[in-house]
A = this chain, B = another copy of it.
Amino acid sequence: MRGRPKENRVSDALLNATLVELAEGGYAGTTIAGIARRAGTSKQAIYRRFPDKTALAAAALANGFLAFRPDPPLRGSVAEDLRRYLIGLAKTLTETPLGGAIRSLSSYRHIPEIAAVFEEAENGQRLALRQVLIATPFEADMETRIDLLLGLVSFGMLVRGYVPTAYEFERAIHLVLGLVAPRDPRPFSGLPGT
């Protein structure tokens, strides 16, 4: 490999700067020149690494997802493991620019590179939740339960604008795990499983 190697200092600064700019100004409000300025480098350093703005955003997002390193499940209680996982996820989303960047990029799923990053991240979270839920005696509706829990996080972050509190997570986990008494004595008729 000939020539001067790329400087990691520049590459790291670029990914971080991109995530912060995305979180602060949204995708449209983020400019290549602004990223370069914040990273203390130049546009050309960006285009030497990434083919275009979307690839840079995708890389920054993927890099940001690496910041979420959930603790392994304790296997004491499914509810407790879920609680620890979801609260850790919420903490990462609120305390790092990752949450803001996700908000900024969530509507660019029509771009394949962005979509791929989101998909991989979602798969990772599904897998982690599945590994917790697998410990329950019954695994019926597992995917629906996961959808409900991840939906709660994404709904809070993307739509309501703030991530649920620990108490809300606990109530939701209770409901999703079926730890509550039936509320409606007359379910719809003819549905499977009722």
Residue of B nearest to A101 (CB): B107
Interface residues on A, range: 35 or more
* Contact, CB under 8 Å: A175 / B145: yes
Q: Would you give the 0/1 interface string for A180-194, flagging 1 where the beta carbon is closer than 8 Å to chain B?
A: 111111111001011
* Contact, CB under 8 Å: A178 / B180: yes
Find A178's partner among B160, B181, B194 (CB 8 Å cutoff).
B181
Q: Quick one: copies of this chain in the complex?
A: 4
Q: Say whether, besides A28-B28, A103-B109, A159-B118, A177 and B182 are in contact (CB < 8 Å).
A: yes
CA distance in complex: A22, B105 (Å): 15
Find A158's partner among B154, B164, B171 (CB 8 Å cutoff).
B154
Interface status of A12 (Cβ within 8 A of chain B): no
- In the complex, 7 of the A-B residue pairs with CB atoms within 8 angstroms, ordered by the A residue number, are A27-B107, A80-B188, A122-B159, A154-B155, A154-B159, A174-B191, A178-B180
Q: 8 nearest interchain CB pairs?
A: A151-B155, A151-B151, A107-B107, A178-B180, A144-B171, A151-B152, A80-B188, A136-B183
Q: Which A residues lie at the B interface, using CB under 8 A?
A: 25-28, 76-80, 83, 103-111, 115, 118, 122, 136-138, 141, 144-145, 147-148, 150-156, 158-161, 164, 168, 170-172, 174-188, 191, 193-194
